[in-house]
Amino acid sequence: MEKIPVGILGATGTVGQKFLVLLENHPFFAVTELVASPRSAGKPYAQVCAWKQSTPIPERIARLVVKSTEEKLRSPVLLSSLDSSVAGPVEEAYANRGHCIISNSTSHRMDADVPIIIPEINHQHLEIIKSQRYSGAIVTNANCSTMFLSMALAPIYREFGIEAVQVTTLQAISGAGYPGVPSLDILGNVIPFIGGEEQKMETETQKILGTLEANRIVEASIKISAQCNRVPVYDGHMETVSLKLKSRASVEEVRQVMRDFKGLPQELRLPSAPERPLVLFDEEDRPQPARDVWLNRGMSTLVGRVRECSVLDIKMVILGHNTIRGAAGAAILNAETMLSKGLIEGPKPEHMELVLESRGD
Instruction: Tell me, yes or no, if 100 is annotated catalytic.
Output: no
CA-to-CA dists, residue 91 to 41, 99, 127, 197, 216, angstroms = 18, 9, 19, 22, 21
CA atoms of 352 and 340, how far apart (whole Å): 7
Single out the catalytic residue among 108, 125, 237, 321.
237
Contact residues for 272 (Cβ-Cβ < 8 A; gap 6+): 22, 265, 299, 329, 332, 333, 336
Sequence-distant (≥ 6) Cβ neighbours of residue 352 within 8 angstroms: 268, 269, 340
Cα-only R_g, the chain: 20
Please tell me which residue in 144, 228, 321, 351 is annotated as part of the active site. 144
Residue 351: DSSP 8-state: H
29-36 vs 67-68, strand pairing mode: parallel
Q: Which of 30, 24, 13 is nearest to 75 (CA)?
A: 30
Give the burial class of 161: count Cβ atoms within 10 A of its Cβ; 0-12 exposed, 13-18 middle, 19 or more buried. middle
309: annotated active-site residue: no
Exposed / middle / buried, residue 109 (Cβ in 10 Å: 0-12, 13-18, 19+): buried
CA distance 129 to 139: 8
φ and ψ of 167, to 5 deg: -130, 135
Torsion of CA 226, 334, 232, 314, to 10 degrees: 40
CA dist 259 and 43 (Å) reads 48
- Number of neighbours of residue 196 by Cβ within 10 angstroms: 11
For residue 85, which amino acid is it?
A: S
Give the residue numbers marked as catalytic: 144, 237
